[in-house]
Amino acid sequence: MISLSFFIARRFFTTKSKASFISLISKISMIGVGVEVMALVLILSVFNGLENFQKDLFKSFDPDFKITAKDGLWIQQDSLFLDKIKAIKNVNFVIPILEDQGLVKYKGKELVVNLKGVAPSFIQSNRLSKSVVEGGYFLKDSTEINNFALVGLGVFLNLGLSFEDVFEPMEVLYPDHMALKNFALTQNTIRSNTIFPSGVLAVENGFDQQTVVVPLDWMQELCGKNQEFSAIEIEGKAGFDEKQVKADLQKVVGGKFEVKSREELHASLLQAVHIEKLFVFLIMGFVMFIASFTLFYTLSLLVIEKKKDLKTLLAMGISKPQLFKVFLFLGFLISFSGAIVGLGLGFGLGWLQLTYGFVKMGIQNGILDAYPIKMAVSDFVATAILVVFITFLASIFPAKKAVSQTFED
C-alpha cells in the first residue's frame, strides 16, 4: 500500500508548476543527475575494462602460481620436491625457472635483457604459443642437443636479429656476481654462451623490450648454477580452485617458501587501479553533490509555491513526520527520474562501446584499439546508493523548511 507521504509527493511531482522557471530548474536537476550518473557509470566501466585487460595480459605470460624462497636465495634442485608438487590435485605443469639479467651482443649491438631459463614443461604448457609472431615455438631441436631462444619483439628489432643468418648467433654475457663482490677478477668472471633465435614473441611492450626465453639447462650452464632455480612456476588445470590449490602448494613447500597467485604477483599495480577508481568515484560524487544544489533550490521554491496546498494538508490532519517525508520523497522522485535515465544511457553507451568500440584510444600500433569496457552490477548499485545519499542531504533542509513554515505560520 502506498503511503500518504509518497502519494502526495508523487502528485506534486506530476503536477505542472505554475511558475515556468520552477519547472525549468526541476528539469535541469533531473538532467544534471542523469548526466552525472551516466558519466560515473561509464568511467567506472572503463576502469573495470582496463583492470580486466591487465589480468588477461598477465595470463599470457605469467603462471597461475609462482614459488620463491622467502630468503631471496636460490631453490636447490630436488626431484623429490618437484614430484611432491606435481602430485598435488589440479596441478597441471610444474616449471622450474632460472631468471636473471644478462647482456646480449649481436653484430656490434648490445642490449641488457631479462634472461629466463625454463624447463621443457614451459613449452608443453603452450603459455606463449599464441604470442609468436615470427619463427617457431621451440627451445630445442629434434635432437634435444641444440639450444634456441624465444626473444621479445623489441629485443629482436633493437638487435637487428635475423633468422636467415645461420652463421652468427647471439652472444650472451653473464657476470659472476660472487666473484665481482669479492673482487676476484678472473677469465671466468664474465661468463658467455651463444644461442640462435627460434621465434619472436609479441606480448606487451615491457615484456617485448627486454625478455629472452632460453632452455633451463643452457641458462644454468651460463650462470654456473647447475643445481639451482630462482623460482618454480605452476600451471593449474582448467577450472581449478585457486584458494585450494594455493593452500595445498603452501602446505607441501613449507614455511621457507612463498606461494603467490598471478594477481598477487601484480598486487601493487592492481591496487593502484582500485585506488584510482575509488578516487574517481569520490570526485564524481563531489561533483554530483555540487550539482544537487539545483535540487535544493527546486525543493525550496516548491515549498514556497505549494504554501496553500500545505495549509490544506495541515487542515486535513497531516503530521510533521508525514509532511517531512513528502519533500524527501519529492527529492527522490526528481533525482531518480534523472538517475534512471542516466543508468540506462550509461548501460546503452557502454554496450555500444563494448560491441563496436567507437571511442578509440588514439595510440598507433597499441595493443588496445578502443577503450575497454566491463560493466559491473556493483558499480550500478554503488552509483544508485550515492544518488540516494546525496538526494537525502539535499532534501533535508527544504523538508524542514516546509514543516516549520506550515506548522508555525
Residue type at 162? S
What whole-number distance in Å separates Cα of residue 341 and Cα of residue 335?
A: 10
What's the pLDDT at 186?
Answer: 58
**In whole angstroms, how far apart are CA 125 and each of 27, 87, 94, 152?**
59, 17, 9, 19
Q: Give the three-class secondary structure for 59.
A: helix
Residue type at 181? K
Choose among 215, 285, 214, 220: nearest CA to 76.
220
What whole-number distance in Å separates Cα of residue 273 and Cα of residue 280?
A: 11
**CB atoms inside a 10 Å sphere around CB 215:** 23
What whole-number distance in Å separates Cα of residue 201 and Cα of residue 122?
A: 14
Choose among 82, 75, 80: nearest CA to 225.
75
What's the pLDDT at 180?
Answer: 54
Paired sense of beta strands 190-201 and 148-152, if any: parallel
pLDDT in tens, the chain (409 residues): 467 777 777 776 776 655 566 667 777 888 888 898 999 999 999 999 988 988 888 888 889 999 998 877 788 888 788 889 999 999 999 999 999 999 999 998 999 999 999 999 999 998 899 899 999 999 998 887 889 999 999 999 999 998 888 788 999 999 876 555 555 555 567 889 999 999 999 988 888 999 999 999 999 999 888 888 999 999 999 888 999 999 999 999 888 899 999 988 888 888 898 899 999 999 988 888 887 777 777 777 777 777 777 777 777 777 777 777 877 887 888 888 888 999 999 999 999 999 988 888 776 656 677 889 999 999 999 998 898 888 888 888 877 777 777 666 5
What's the pLDDT at 177?
Answer: 63
**CB atoms inside a 10 Å sphere around CB 13:** 16
Contact present, 26 and 346 (Cβ < 8 Å)? no
Work out the burial of residue 245: count CB atoms within 10 Å of its CB; fewer than 13 is exposed, 13-18 middle, 19 or more buried.
buried
**In whole angstroms, how far apart are CA 222 and each of 98, 128, 144, 407?**
11, 24, 18, 90
What's the pLDDT at 96?
Answer: 93
Q: Give the three-class secondary structure for 118.
A: strand
What's the pLDDT at 364?
Answer: 62
What's the pLDDT at 347?
Answer: 95
**In whole angstroms, how far apart are CA 299 and each of 64, 73, 184, 326, 406?**
56, 68, 83, 11, 15
Query: What are the grid coordinates assigned to 306, written together?
Result: 505549494
Cβ burial 60-69 (10 Å sphere, 16+ → b, else e) = ebbbbbbbbb
What's the pLDDT at 98?
Answer: 93
